[in-house]
Structure formats: C-alpha cells, structure tokens
Amino acid sequence: MYKRKLLLLFFLLNSVIAYSQDKEWSYQQCVEYAIENNLSVKLQNFDVVERTEELKQAKSQRLPNVNGFYNHSFNRGLNPDPNTNVLVNQITNNGSFGAQIGIPVFNGLKINNSIKQSKASIKSSEYSKEKMQNDIILQVTENYLDAIFKYENVGISKKRVTNLKEQVSRTKRLVEAGSSPLSELLDLLSQSADSERQLTESENAFNIALLTLKQSMQLDFNTPFSIIIPEFAEPDTTLQFLASNKVFEESRMIMPEIKAAEMNISVSEFQKKIAKADYFPIFNINGNASTGYASNYVNIEDPTDNSLAKQFENFFSQTAVFQVSIPIYNRRNTKTNVNKAKIAIRKSEIQLEQELNTLRINIEQAYINALSAQKTYISSKKSVESLEEQFRSVNKRFTSGAANTTDYVVAENNLNIAKAELNRAKYQFIFSQKILDFYEGKQIILE
C-alpha cells in the first residue's frame, strides 16, 4: 500500500518547535527503539541473566567439591616425636598439605529439583520481559496513532484558514464594489483570525503528541524527530469482531503474563520438593590425601636420609569416607519450609487467577470499545457526508449573495467539527481493532 511520507521534524528549544530534514521514523522503528532503550526492560534483562547464573550454580552442585590445604606450625615445649611418638621437650617446625574432595551421592533429589526450579524461574523472567515489551508496543501504538490524528487535525485547520482567507478576499472585493455590507467583511475577518488561533492550537496539540511519543520511546528530548504517516485504508464498517470469550480463550494460551504466572506456580512447586528433600538421608563420599614434614624427623631405615622428599613419601596418607546423614529432628525447620512452600504455591495460583481475570476484563473492555468505535465511526461518517452536502448548498447561496456570512461560518464550523470527530473516530476505531488483533496474537502493523 502506498504511503505518503510527511517530514515532521521537530525540535523543542526554548519552547519553539522547528523542523529540519533528518531521519524519518516508521512505526516499527519507533517500537523497536522504545523496546531497546526502555530502562525497565534493561533491568529485566539483568534479571534473566541473574536467573541464568543461578541455573549454572544449581547444575554445578552435582560436581565434586575440591579444596587444597596447607598448615605450618612452630612448636616449643612438650611435643610428640614423629619417630617415637613420645613427648619430648623441644623446638620443632612441622607442616602438612594435601587435598580434600567431597562428592554428593544423594540428597533427596534436591539438586535435580533446584535445576528444574532455576529453569522455570528463567522462563518466568523471560515472560515478564515479554509482558513489558507488549506494554511498550501498546503504548507506542496509541501515541503514534494519536500523533497521526493530531496531524490530520492540523490539516483540517489549515484548510479552514485557507477557505476563510479566500472568502475574506472575495468579500473585500464585494465591499469595495458596494455589493456587500462592511459587516460581512468584519465578520469574516473575525472568523479568519479565530481560524488561525485554532490552527495554532492544533499545531500545539500535534507537537505535544509528538513529544509524548518521543517520551514513550525514551528518545532524547533534543533529538530531531520525524514520523512517517501511513496511508490507511478506509476502515471496514462491516467488520465482524470475534466474540470476547473466544478472544480470551485464545489469548490466555499466548499472553506472556499468563505464562509467567504459570511458571511461578512451577517455581513454588519445585521449592516444595526442595524443602521435602530435607526429610531424606544425605549420602556423600569424602576423600583426603595429605603428607607433611617435621624438623625433628629421623628416617629409621636410613637416618642419613631425612630429606623433604623422603618425609613426603613416608608421611603420605589417603582417606576415603562414605558419609550418611540421617535427619531426626531439626527444630521443625524442614516442616516450616515445606509449609511455606505450600503457601507460596497457593499464592502463585491466586496470582494466576488475578492475571486471568485482568486479561478477561481487558479483552471485554477492548471488545466493547471496538464495537463502540465502529458505531461512532459509522455515525460520524454519515454526519460528515450530510454536512458536506449542506455546506455545498450554503456556499453556493453565499457566493450568489443569497446567504449571509453567519450562515456560511456556521455551516463551515459544523462541517469542520464533524470532520475532526470523524478523524478521531477513525483512529479510535483503528486502535481498537489493533488491540483486539494484539490479544488474538497478531502482530500490530500500521499501514
């Protein structure tokens, strides 16, 4: 579909709006920029990254825990002789070093459930991010359409200014020729001045709409800004909307806020399993390998060989331990954690019900708004058609001198008001359609 591009560049500097030829922004570019630069979305990105780190940590709990150690001591007084194990009053330097390892074998499936919980938590964060993006899309869509609506109002006001200036020139000639009274000219001059005031108000409203759009995009205040005005097809007044209950049934399956709430239930359910794991025995395998040295060491086999290497060889030892920890009583900690997890599950279920209820209300409201906007557009269109015919008749009589200035101005004002209302109804109708499309899972496209 053809698009007419209108360069609507505006600066706000010292409350003056200026235009220059810079980048033009399409609707899609506005949406993409808004999503990319929204601070809430950026924060949510970090939340996703944080949850991802938690998943990595949960997976790492399956791996062995390995630590090295080193000890060195200086002793004076009675100390055990490393050769005879008899207490001797002496000064010694002793040291030991080695490595320890702990391998989890079974802990009530706590690790597995922690991994699953982290995955569900990541999905919940991602869905929450998607919900934020959807909110931004709807806000930018509304502001973009409002800017177009305000721009077209400027066009209506400009046309009225032009028409009245033409009538002023015509009436001025008639007054000079003595064919029309001066009062007719004065009335038209007053109306012409008022039309310029209305044009200024329309331009101000348009500039404010552009500013609102920029702010919703979080675009820098002083950045030159231009939007592309799509050439919209005439709204289909015969369009039949899908019933709100059917839209709701489709929407509840795809809306990210619903999926996020469902994931939060899963997170709470896994937390319950993690808490219950403390009822089960814990099985671990621990290992230790170490060696050492002593300043008073004497090699019994070869007293002349007391080197560090020989000491390390003789002091080297290894230990393996299969450890079982059986919970008997832990001051009600486990039971409390399980009960708290059950409460969290119920709270998550209620939050899901809240999200579903909010979604249903929003869809029902959008459905009623769409029906209302459609009816308003149809009636506004009929009103404009009727007033256009009336204005043509009055204009013809005014040109021939059969109608006075008041008749002309009233007819023109009524027509302009009706056109502005039709313009408002048109874009409200378009926006209402896009909202319903959005809830049905369709991408919003403005063209």
The domain defined by 21-61+108-281+333-440 folds into Outer membrane efflux proteins (OEP) (1.20.1600)
- Give CA–CA dist 406/391, Å, rounded: 12
Whether the per-residue pLDDT at 432 is higher than 80: the answer is: yes
**For residues 49 and 122, is the Cβ–Cβ distance under 8 A?**
no
Q: Which helix (H) or strand (E) holds 98?
A: strand 87-106
Tokens of 2: 């053809």
- Give CA–CA dist 93/305, Å, rounded: 18
Beta carbons within 10 angstroms of residue 185's beta carbon: 20
pLDDT in tens, 322-376: 999 999 998 999 999 999 999 999 999 999 999 999 999 999 999 999 999 999 9
Tokens of 259: 């999926």
Q: 246 vs 398, which has greater pLDDT?
A: 246
CA angle 26, 30, 35 (to 5 degrees): 150
Whether the per-residue pLDDT at 14 is higher than 60: the answer is: no
Return the pLDDT at 21.
44
- Give CA–CA dist 199/190, Å, rounded: 14
Q: 16 vs 60, which has greater pLDDT?
A: 60
Delimit the CATH 1.20.1600.10 region(s) of the chain: 21-61+108-281+333-440
User: Which value, to the nearest 10 degrees, does the dihedral of the CA atoms of residues 73, 76, 81, 86 take?
Assistant: -130
* Mean pLDDT value of segment 203-209: 96
Average pLDDT, the chain: 89
**For residues 412 and 374, is the Cβ–Cβ distance under 8 A?**
no
Left, alpha or beta for 218 (phi > 0: left; psi -120 to 50: alpha)? left
DSSP designation for 252: T
